[in-house]
Chains A and B, each alone.
Chain A
């Protein structure tokens, strides 16, 4: 397998995380996202992803773009335990809901981070932060209800799923976009729990708890 990857991308990290958790070896093809904007270069758009976005996974000639789609694929193909994408109609319905939320988080919280950290000055950062805060309020309410019922994760079950994984990085990285998490205690609790899972690996900006 090959992953078109950028180290500081939360969406790429999700894929690296699941590959690592599933024990799947993968060649990493680093893309010069910043400052090179290689994901918008002619060769990348022609050969890898017409949308000019990372991550993209290649597995035995099968080329798949979109972080959430890749998580669904990897969990379906390589997770014999069924932990990450349980074969259960209600769980899958719920997971789909949060995968869509992960897209919204990318468009808001991740956009604010790109504005503040990576010189994406055309982004309306106030609007991005407003949207992210509204999403975080929803997430926090849902997680608070889950926590009252003794559950830790977005979807009912003992372990986290790709729903949590998909939403996690741009919540954890939100302070880099000028969105501190102080006002959402259940959300912070969930970030803490996610980081303390045994298979957790960090990325620049999200430390592994052992440190």
Chain B
């Protein structure tokens, strides 16, 4: 046994992040994943290596500026999800690193997908009372990649980003690539016809503790990295107590436990998608 506290293939067979690639720049790096210690380092040839607590070698790769581990003992892990915006010319990549949150990773991702909380939790930034209505949007499943998409989302935002000087109706798209990995695309302020991309990569430390990492691929050339990161951390810091006060900490996938409404179509799709995959880690099923 590797010591990972799950047999859920949704966790073991996915690529799970353990943080930015810079973590292994100065020697070996230890962190916790799925309830157990993992150790990563570069060998003399510069190749990335990773081991579980019991010494078993783990599948590991560096991509999108991040370290990814596949904990499965199976021979061939699936390919990592596609993030074409990362390599797209003209975009600036800014890593916001991670913040620890005392909650299930599934709840974290669900919060990331939710627009309805903007005017209440992110008042004066991503929303504002009385503009609380979530206009209807489309949710679909990309069967080939097994990803969820929400499109045609829009929301009035008084300050949609660090460079916004006036309120705009921001257009959003959301995408869930893995249960612990999602992206959102939103109207770029300096380039209104284009969309900035924000990646949320969740490291499940255990079922109720995570580190949530955020990576930006922005069309933005006025703000400094510090200003862009400060804006994201402000938004994230507003979500954190809300997430940490959710009870139960795991996500209920049982019907009738929590009541969704029309604006929760994305969340509903996410929960159904998780249920269909038979997820148990960080969930109550």
Contact = CB atoms under 8 A, between A and B. Distances in A.
Nearest to A172: B241
Interface string A183-211: 00000000000000000000111110001
Interface stretch (A14-22, A32-40, A58-66, A82-90): A32-40
A191 to B, nearest CB: 13
B237 A203 contact: yes
Contacts of A34: 97, 99, 233
Given A36-B226, A117-B101, A204 B237 contact: yes
B180 interface: no
Interface string A159-188: 000000000000000011010000000000
A32 B237 contact: no
B226 A118 contact: no
Interface string B214-255: 000000000001110110011111101100100000000000
Contacts of A116: 100, 102
Contacts of B211: 119
> DSSP class of A's interface residues: helix, strand, loop or mixed?
loop
The B interface, classified by DSSP as helix, strand, loop or mixed, is helix
- Residue from the set B96, B120, B236, B240 with the largest chain A CB neighbour count within 10 Å: B240
B226 A7 contact: no
Contacts of B206: none
9 contacts: A7-B230, A7-B237, A30-B230, A35-B98, A35-B229, A36-B229, A206-B241, A211-B121, A211-B123
Interface residues of A, number: 23
A31 interface: yes
B95 interface: yes
A117 B99 contact: yes
A123 interface: no
A8 interface: yes
Interface string A28-61: 0011101110100000000000000000000000
Contacts of B230: 6-7, 30, 32
A118 B102 contact: no
A122 to B, nearest CB: 12
A38 B227 CA distance: 13
Contact of B241 (A6, A119, A205): A205
A37 to B, nearest CB: 10
Interface of B: 20, 95-102, 120-121, 123, 211, 225-227, 229-230, 233-238, 240-241, 244
B158 to A, nearest CB: 14
A203 B95 CA distance: 23
A204 to B, nearest CB: 2
Nearest to A208: B123
A38 B230 CA distance: 13
B233 A7 contact: yes
Contact of A175 (B20, B226, B234, B241): B241
B240 to A, nearest CB: 6
A205 B237 contact: yes
Nearest to B240: A205
Interface in A87-134: 116-119
B262 to A, nearest CB: 23
Nearest to B121: A211
Nearest to A117: B100
B237 A35 contact: no
A30 B228 CA distance: 10
A205 B233 CA distance: 11
B120 A211 contact: yes
A204 B234 contact: yes
Contacts of B120: 211
B241 A35 contact: no
Nearest to A173: B241
Contacts of B123: 211
A7 B211 CA distance: 19
A178 to B, nearest CB: 7
B236 A204 contact: yes
B237 A31 contact: no
